[in-house]
């Protein structure tokens, strides 16, 4: 169908996008790899030369790395569980015949449009501040001691904020999937005497499996790189209690000006993301082909 | 849609749904209300719900302290500029992938998607150093460039899924009628592609507006966008909750309105066309 000429044209038209993305992917990555084997500090210009594996030993050997890795997994896992379970519940609820569905959708989707630093600051000051936050008032109302969330439960507090931002996304996608389930199928199941639990287990859940997989994939991509929420609330602390891998690299490379060690951390972050991506792509690929 | 349910059930579900939705919306609602309170009232215990002394002074103070309009303008330039630049690069690519696919088209698309999976911190340090050496740190055009690159895969993907739904027969017919390639694009393809391009534009403006990694790490005073503007409020100084709320409201209001209009397109765009 396509002649040689149109094929050549198609390649030309694709070229800018492919070339630009290729450069964007390869050049900085190679530089990160190069820096990670160098002694390179912006504070101490005398320190130069090949470092071997020293930067990696320094970054991975430091206890902060293990903690950041564990924090990253807890953060991603925690937010995924909250948003998938909560999103499924909300989608089922919004799919019921209720009054004001249009307005409800708008209310529920809104947190997704709130930029991360605003979301974090609203929660930090308006809600979680022990002195004048809403939760503090609520605790006092019930005669309880207000909780200093970011000092006592730093990672949990970050998870709450991030889950609040991503719950609308999961809900919206799952709701869209739910609404494409045919009415006949549901009614048939109902006529056959399937109760609500069985209808959910055998009809609705299998139908939503694909959408759930997609939500997991897309959220994981974004959640691995959570940064602003940590930057404006806890600053990674206390200690390293709420530092994830992304924030650790920023801390080492930019805040401490240790380019070599920061780059080594960056390479590790890329490797982790790739491991996750391979698993996810495989799982999603299976689900998408079906 | 309309399942037969009793009125009681319907009321029950409606009450439950509204309670949950309002709970989720409450941080935004609370910010909206606090923005119009005086600082003293904002931290009063027990708290007031509606502002007792309705005031606009917080908005003035925020403009004086951090120059909201400058940051908002930077946000507009970066988000709209990067999206337009992305569209210019992506439209020809998506066009050829949708209408002249080769064996490798699927692979190229998957590869583009995989570049989104590269964590930003993996390339933060070289980009930071390159920007420092080229004097691109804290410039609007430098940030626009980065934003174009990070959203390009999504733009190509979205356009591809929209273009694929345009019937090829129509293009063939136009070609039979002797339309030149340029005419084919301008008179046949563009009118059919405009809705898809418009939703791609909208979604990517929203994504770029809310992007908070590169904007915070690569800019400060001069080219700071609204994400950087709001981050400057992260360390409290005296009485500031009402001012923070006013600043937050100013930062999210424009995109919240855009978002409400585009929520139908959102699902499709964010799932790369996998859920419609």
Pick from B251, B242, B247: nearest CA to B48: B242
Q: Is the dihedral of CA B223, B229, B233, B234 positive or negative?
A: negative
Distance, CA of A63 to CA of A192 (rounded, Å): 59
Distance, CA of B199 to CA of B162 (rounded, Å): 10
From A110, A115, A233, residue closest to B210, measured CB to CB: A115
B89-145 residue pLDDT tens: 998 899 888 888 888 888 888 888 778 777 888 888 889 889 999 998 888 899 999
Q: Which residues contact A119 (CB under 8 A, 6 or more apart)?
A: A111, A161, A164, A165, A229, B27
Inter-chain residue contact A16 with B120, CB threshold 8 Å: no
pLDDT above 50 for B2: no
- In a 10 Å sphere around its CB, with 0-12 CB exposed, 13-18 middle and 19+ buried, how is residue B177 labelled? exposed
A80 assigned to some structural domain: yes
Each as own residue / partner, the long-range contacts of residues A200-204 (CB below 8 Å, 24 or more positions apart, any chain) are A200/A92, A204/A92, A204/A178
A151-195 residue pLDDT tens: 888 999 999 999 999 999 999 889 888 888 777 777 777 777 777
A23 assigned to some structural domain: no
Please work out, in degrees rounded to the nearest 5, the angle formed at the alpha carbon of residue A115 by the alpha carbons of A111 and A116.
95
Interface confidence, given as ipTM, is: 0.84
Which residues from chain B sit within 8 angstroms of residue A112, using beta carbons? Answer: 259
B 186-225: CB under 8 A from A: 206, 209-210, 212-213, 216-217
Q: What is the CATH number of the domain that holds A84?
A: 1.10.3720.10
Identify the domain containing residue A97 by its residue range. 69-244
Q: Residue B163 corresponds to which tokens in the numbers above?
A: 């273009």
A258 assigned to some structural domain: no
**Beta-sheet strands, E only, within B61-135:** none
A262 assigned to some structural domain: no
Which residues from chain A sit within 8 angstroms of residue B38, using beta carbons? Answer: none
pTM value is 0.86
Enumerate the β-bridge partners of residue A41.
A258
Which residues from chain A sit within 8 angstroms of residue B27, using beta carbons? Answer: 111, 119, 122-123, 126-127, 164
Distance, CA of A96 to CA of A98 (rounded, Å): 6
Q: Residue B258 belongs to what H/E stretch?
A: helix B241-270
For residues B211 and B148, is the Cβ–Cβ distance under 8 A?
Answer: no
The predicted pLDDT at position A290 comes to 40
B221: left (phi over 0), alpha (psi -120 to 50) or beta: alpha
Distance, CA of B139 to CA of B120 (rounded, Å): 19
Domain count within chain A: 1
A90-146 residue pLDDT tens: 999 988 888 888 888 889 989 999 999 999 989 988 888 877 888 888 888 888 888
A82 assigned to some structural domain: yes
A121 assigned to some structural domain: yes
Tell me whether A149 touches chain B (CB under 8 Å): no
For residues A90 and A167, is the Cβ–Cβ distance under 8 A?
Answer: yes
CA A129 to each of CA A60, A120, A137, A159, B238: distance values in angstroms, whole numbers, following the listed order: 34, 12, 10, 16, 14
């Amino acid at each position: 169908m396509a002649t040689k000429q149109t094929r050549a044209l198609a390649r030309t038209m694709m070229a800018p996008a492919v070339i630009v993305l290729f450069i964007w992917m390869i050049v900085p990555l190679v530089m990160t790899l190069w820096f990670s084997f160098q002694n390179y500090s912006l504070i101490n210009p005398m320190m130069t030369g090949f470092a071997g594996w020293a930067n990696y030993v320094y970054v991975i050997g430091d206890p902060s790395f293990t903690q950041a890795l564990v924090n990253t997994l807890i953060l991603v896992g925690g937010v995924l569980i909250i948003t998938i379970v909560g999103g499924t519940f909300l989608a089922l609820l919004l799919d019921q015949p209720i009054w004001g569905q249009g307005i409800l959708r708008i209310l529920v989707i809104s947190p997704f449009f709130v930029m991360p630093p605003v979301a974090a600051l609203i929660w930090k000051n308006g809600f979680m501040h022990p002195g004048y936050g809403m939760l503090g008032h609520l605790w006092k109302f019930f005669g309880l001691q207000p909780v200093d969330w970011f000092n006592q439960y730093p990672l949990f507090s970050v998870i709450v904020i991030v889950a609040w931002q991503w719950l609308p996304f999961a809900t919206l996608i799952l709701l869209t999937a739910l609404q494409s389930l045919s009415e006949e199928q549901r009614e048939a199941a109902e006529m056959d005497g399937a109760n609500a639990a069985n209808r959910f287990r055998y009809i609705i859940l299998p139908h939503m499996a694909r959408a759930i997989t997609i939500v997991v994939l897309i959220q994981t991509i974004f959640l691995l790189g959570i940064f602003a929420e940590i930057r404006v609330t806890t600053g990674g602390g206390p200690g390293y209690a709420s530092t994830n891998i992304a924030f650790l690299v920023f801390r080492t490379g930019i805040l401490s000006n240790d380019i070599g060690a920061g780059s080594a951390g960056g390479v590790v972050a890329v490797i982790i993301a790739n491991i996750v991506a391979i698993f996810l792509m495989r799982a999603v690929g299976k689900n998408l082909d079906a | 849609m309309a399942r037969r349910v009793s009125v009681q059930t319907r009321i029950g579900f409606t009450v439950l749904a509204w309670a949950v939705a309002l709970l989720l919306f409450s941080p935004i609602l609370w910010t909206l209300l606090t923005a119009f309170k005086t600082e003293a009232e904002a931290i009063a215990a027990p708290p007031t719900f509606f502002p007792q002394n309705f005031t606009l002074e917080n908005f003035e103070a925020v403009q004086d302290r951090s120059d909201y309009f400058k940051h908002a303008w930077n946000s507009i330039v970066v988000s709209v500029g990067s999206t337009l630049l992305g569209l210019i690069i992506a439209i020809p690519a998506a066009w050829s992938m949708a209408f002249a696919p080769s064996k490798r088209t699927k692979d190229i698309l998957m590869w583009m998607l995989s570049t989104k999976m590269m964590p930003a911190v993996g390339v933060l340090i070289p980009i930071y150093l390159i920007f420092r050496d080229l004097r691109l740190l804290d410039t609007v055009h430098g940030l626009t460039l980065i934003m174009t690159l990070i959203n390009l895969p999504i733009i190509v993907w979205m356009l591809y899924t929209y273009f694929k739904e345009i019937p090829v027969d129509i293009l063939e017919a136009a070609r039979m009628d002797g339309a030149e390639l340029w005419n084919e694009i301008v008179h046949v393809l563009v009118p059919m592609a405009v809705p898809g391009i418009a939703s791609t534009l909208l979604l990517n403006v929203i994504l770029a507006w809310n992007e908070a990694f590169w904007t915070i790490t690569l800019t400060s005073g001069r080219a700071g966008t609204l994400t950087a503007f709001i981050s400057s409020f992260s360390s409290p100084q005296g009485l500031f909750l009402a001012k923070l709320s006013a600043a937050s409201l100013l930062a999210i209001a424009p995109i919240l309105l855009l978002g409400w209009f585009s929520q139908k397109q959102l699902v499709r765009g964010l799932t790369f066309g996998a859920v419609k």
